[in-house]
Structure 1
Amino acid sequence: MAATRSTGRRERLRAETTADIKRTALELMRAGGPDAITLRAIAREMGMTANAIYGYFATRDDLVTALIADVYTVLADAVDAAWAASAEDAPAQRVQAWAHAFRDWALANPEGFRLVYGDPVPGYRAPEGGAAPDAARRVCVGIAGLADAAWGAAGQVYGEDDFGWGDFDPGLLDKVRPAFPGLPPAGVALALRIWGHLHGLVALEVYGHLRAQTLSPNKIFHAELTSLVRSLGLVA
């Protein structure tokens, strides 16, 4: 019994230290950009020896991979939950719910947003298949789901756009087509255009550019989202 308690305590302490390492890495990134993420700098901030931190992450890239996996998973969980909580027969509300969940996540996790959608970590090489293949797929499918939910109305406006399957990366199609077999190439293009609307405005806000221009970024986002929904032929 004592051995079991000792093992449990070691596992708990290791999990706590691992979480502290990740948190410190993001704090360093916030202060100094992606270049600041080094194992030695983290060890120094935490009062650890370099050798000790290598017992948790063998390389800087292993740490970055773990950070990206965490970030993507939290994002995927947030947007999936918003989507699931919205009514299937109310596409405008579903688009808005997903969009607000994405923005809320980004504002609550600005370093995470910058890590996966903004500043690349110099020299980082992701493992084969990506750092977070399942969570990244869920986010990608969620974006395509916005176009699919709106396509009944939006297809009347965008259905004639000149897109073919050859216009898209096969990896993207491998994720999207099994989930939405009825979505045509123009629908996939629409998904990317919707993503551009949402990502662009959120990126301006996360990087502080929008706040410098307006005291009401929330109103700007809401207005843009309302305009987007209308452009899709949906009624909010």
Structure 2
Amino acid sequence: MRPEQCQHLRARTGHRRREPAPARRRPRHGDRGLRALPLLPQPRRPADRPHPGQLPILGAAATAAQATAPANNERAQWLSVCASVRDWAVANPTEYGLLYGSPIPGYDAPKDAVGPAATVVMLLAGIAAHAATADRLHPAPLPTPLPAPVRADLRTLIEQQSSDLHEEVLDRVFLAWTQLFGLITFEIFGRLDGTIEAVADYFTHHMNLMADLVGLPAES
């Protein structure tokens, strides 16, 4: 087919010759367009995780708070320790988030952070043990029995600390410990916004409920 016949055929069918697309210019380094592109967030490397040096400070605050309560008033000591943890978290939300926020894959806390991290739960367990020694600890029985594997884990911890606590009591202390930090985390990260306005009263109420569960006597 001759060229003039091809042109006549395209005219009859409405087919138009497609013009070649202009060549795309490869951006050069320093082009304005490249600088305008949003940068994707880079994942944090495990080495970027700050050293949890705030743990001893938090533990020291909790220890000092216990010392301000009367020695024979375990409930007051309990509430003082719990309140001090919340006060520290509210005053240092960024540091709290680094300590108790989302874990970073591949990051393992330094070994010297394990002890300070257990300070608060050790204080709570010590308060319960002191009340038990003074015959002031009377936990109400619960209908749900402690599973045997969990009892064995708790017994191992009790023997490691040379404590006389019963497994059921330590189990309740652990429950109170997780409730303490869970409630603080909900407050710090805004999970209670729009639901609970009296956050301080709500917190104290729940820490009293945890003290009831452990079996601490009411404040005299």
**C-alpha distance in 2, partners of 1:170/1:137?**
16
- The answer as to 2:157 corresponding to 1:157 is no
Higher share of residues assigned helix: 1
CA RMSD of aligned residues (A): 3.1
Match of 1:212 among 173, 191, 194: 194
1:170 Cα deviation from its structure 2 partner: 5.6
Q: Hey, what does 1:183 align to over in structure 2?
A: 165
Q: Deviations 1:107-154 (Å, cap 9, x if unpaired)?
A: 122222222223112331334xx3513312323312322432454444
Secondary structure at 1:123 match in 2: coil
Task: Report the CA distance shift for 1:141/1:228 in structure 2 as closer, same or farther (over 3 A).
Answer: closer
Q: Hey, what does 2:97 align to over in structure 1?
A: 114
Unaligned runs of 5+ in 1: 1-34, 39-59
Larger Rg: 2
**C-alpha distance in 2, partners of 1:91/1:159?**
22
Secondary structure at 1:126 match in 2: coil
Task: State whether residues 78 and 124 of structure 2, in contact with CA within 8 Å, keep that contact through their aligned partners in structure 1.
Answer: no
What is the identity, as a one-letter code, of the residue corresponding to 1:225? M
What is the identity, as a one-letter code, of the residue corresponding to 2:96? F
**TM-score if structure 1 supplies the norm length?**
0.61
- The answer as to 2:85 corresponding to 1:85 is no
**TM-score if structure 2 supplies the norm length?**
0.65
What is the identity, as a one-letter code, of the residue corresponding to 2:163? P
Match of 1:64 among 41, 49, 59: 49
**C-alpha distance in 2, partners of 1:131/1:173?**
21
Q: Hey, what does 1:134 align to over in structure 2?
A: 115
1:83 Cα deviation from its structure 2 partner: 1.5
Q: Hey, what does 2:79 align to over in structure 1?
A: 96
1:156 Cα deviation from its structure 2 partner: 4.2
Task: State whether residues 159 and 186 of structure 1, in contact with CA within 8 Å, keep that contact through their aligned partners in structure 2.
Answer: no
Q: Which runs of 4+ in 1 moved over 6 A?
A: none
